[in-house]
Structure 1
Amino acid sequence: MNLAANANAALYASMIVYTLAMLAFTWHLAARAPKVADSKVAAGVTADEREQVLVGSGAPTAERRPTTPYAAGPGFEESLKSRQRGSIALMLTYLASALLVASVLMRGLAVGRPPWGNMFEFATAAAAAVGAAYSLLAKRNKWQWLGVFIVTPILLVLGLALSVLYTEAGELMPALKSYWLGIHVSVAFIAVAFFTIAAAVGLLYLVRLRREEKPPARPSFIESLPSSSSLERTAYSLNMVGFILWTFTLIAGAIWAKQAWGAYWQWDPKEVWTFVIWTVYAAYMHSRATAGVDHRKSMYIALAGYVSVIINFTLVNLVSTFVGMHNYSGM
């Protein structure tokens, strides 16, 4: 009981620190906006480069979309103030993620099993996976600009977990007492972590692309982000990792179903939606790899896949219409 209480205390502490990190990331973005004078100069350079491509080719060529004049790389220099604020926000995220991981581990020790046997535990474990994955990737890739779009969903999930999904630490139902719980579910929430980060990058890609096509009169932090093409490649890479992990989740779930229920497939709502998610992301991968398909359209498919992930976790679990064989676990 002491471990369970400590797990809850660490969870509340992580939420407090994540809130501070969210505010710090917002503070950081406020310092990233390029100056208007710099943006005009950079925009002029971009226009010149485009003209050289069109005139110097010697043959009619489809106009290349201009690269962003404010990309966080060539053409954009982050101010010292912005870097300092980003570092503070990132350090807070490290601390909050460590507290959340500690909460999940203590919950597992308290119940003597993998701590993802019900919706509350899955939600907190998935949030911890998102925080940990972002923390590992952010420093190396200088993703401080992404922080507020990751930390905010984590806070929302933790708030939902505590207010709606909370379950006291306890034993598992007999059917869940299998080593597959530690394998199947853990891979599932790691896949969800990559899908979540990819969805955030994908949404920023769509916004960034629109701003490149119709540059604003006054730049904001959006113009300090990496170019739309860079954001799209990043989202694709993250979705690819998530898709591979989700494929394993689907296969592992079928094997566990055979052991628990005597058949690989039972048309259970959870099974069906797991396959729906896999199908949508497979369509995205196919679209992304097909020559001539607009990457923007492919990204819409990926975002539809993430909406399916949200439906799978919320409606399928909470609405009585979807009652199935997974409901005894609260998942």
Structure 2
Amino acid sequence: MTPTFAAPAASANLTLASNANMALYASMIVYTLAMLMFTWHLAARSAQMAPARAVDREAVLVGSAGEGPASPGSAASPASPASPAGPAGPSAFHESAASSQRGNIALMLTYLATALLVASVVLRGFAVGRPPWGNMFEFATAAAAAVGLTYSVLAKRNSWQWLGVFVVTPVLLVLGLSLAVLYTEAGELMPALKSYWLAIHVGVAFLAVAFFTLGAAIGALYLIRLRREEKPPAQPGFIESLPTSAALERTAYSLNMVAFILWTFTLIAGSIWAKQAWGAYWQWDPKEVWTFVIWTVYAAYMHGRATAGMDLRKSTAIALAGFACVIINFTLVNLVTTFVGMHNYSGM
């Protein structure tokens, strides 16, 4: 039920708006450096796996020559928990000091970039004298800030440096598209949108999207990790240095659960606001419909995840389909004329 439209207004503080844009450009530069550092960090983890696999193979050959084939539970077995490439996951992977240092530097850069992006959003808010999500440009930058901030809060505590490139890259892409395609001059809101529900409804939607994004990134990595565990590659890479597929799936589920709760509130708050603005809780507006579609898909995921015997691979695929609906909701539904309805506030 977001984003909203901002009509140009002379009352906007152009100096603050310009400073907000400068902070946005600065954040993109730092995010780019963070992305490169995260990539270097993963390269170090991948390189670290190669000699470990070579040692494993040598141990197997020695065992075969001296005592016959190694048993599945022996120390020489490639599938042993002592093997970094085996299913034991993070307990078998001991990150090198160089890799850890690169990851920490990348995380520090992410903190700085996120701080600059949050500053940009705040300055935009002061420039227009309202919550800074009144059009597609403002919504996209604020949502990107929410993703960066959520990742920054959770990353250090959970040692999620390995996840950084999969979060920073889409954030950088969204910011680039915001400036190149979605940019709208600072301005006032339409009268119907001048409500305290704008801050509540859209603010919670930001948080939901942030958790959905992290859940989708980890869910996709879970599917890749699971496949690599089932069919180990000849040459292990950084995927084998990640937590086990089971650990990744549990983390994705936890993130999606938080997002689902927040999205439920978003749906309810939007209906209440619609009643105040348009006189009805529900009018089958395209934005309303897609908001409900997202809720339904993630509800199906939650149900499937809690059902005994349900293939976790299938339930994760449902969650990823839900995230695809989130992307459609905040892009096509706002930009394609076929979906034009009462929420036509993109400012495009």
TM-score for the superposition, normalised by structure 2: 0.87
Give runs of aligned pairs for residues 1-331 of structure 1, distance below 5 A. Answer: 1-33=14-46, 34-39=48-53, 47-48=72-73, 69=86, 73-328=90-345, 330=347
* Residue type at the aligned position of 1:117: G
CA gap 1:244/1:253 in 2 versus in 1, 3 angstroms = same
**Alignment partners' CA distance in 1, 2:260 and 2:137:** 24
Q: 1:148 to 1:179 in 2, by over 3 A?
A: same
Higher relative contact order (CA 8 A, sep 6+): 2
Whichever residue aligns with residue 150 of structure 2, its letter is: A
Amino acid at match of 1:295: L
Q: Tell me, which stretches of 5 or more residues in structure 2 are unaligned?
A: 1-13, 61-69, 75-82
Could you tell me how far 1:189 is from its partner in structure 2? 1.2
The structural deviation recorded for 1:46 is: 10
- Give the SS at the match of 1:31: helix
In 1: Cα distance, 2:267 partner to 2:346 partner: 18
C-alpha separation between the residues in 2 aligned to 1:98 and 1:203? 27
* More divergent stretch after superposition (129-138 vs 70-79): 70-79
Q: Measure, in 2, the Cα distance between the counterparts of 1:89 and 1:120.
A: 27
Secondary structure of 1:171's match? strand
**Distance in 2 separating the partners of 1:11 and 1:73:** 36
C-alpha separation between the residues in 1 aligned to 2:96 and 2:321?
Answer: 36
Deviation at 1:271, TM superposition (A): 0.2
Shift of 1:36: 3.5
Cα drift, residue 48 of structure 1: 1.1
Given that residues 67 and 227 in structure 1 are in contact (C-alpha distance below 8 angstroms), is that contact kept between their aligned partners in structure 2?
no
Counterpart Cα distance in 2 of 1:102 and 1:35: 40
Contact 1:70 1:76 in 2 (8 A): no
Assess, with a 3 A threshold, how the Cα gap between structure 1 residues 27 and 36 changes in structure 2: closer, same or farther. closer
In structure 1, what is the Cα distance between the partners aligned to 2:71 and 2:270? 51
Between the two proteins, the alignment pairs up a number of residues equal to: 317
Q: 5+ residue gaps in structure 1?
A: 50-65
The Cα RMSD (Å) is 2.1
Q: Percent identity?
A: 77
Which TM-score applies when normalising by structure 1?
A: 0.92
Bigger-Rg structure (1/2): 2
* SS at 1:233 equivalent: helix
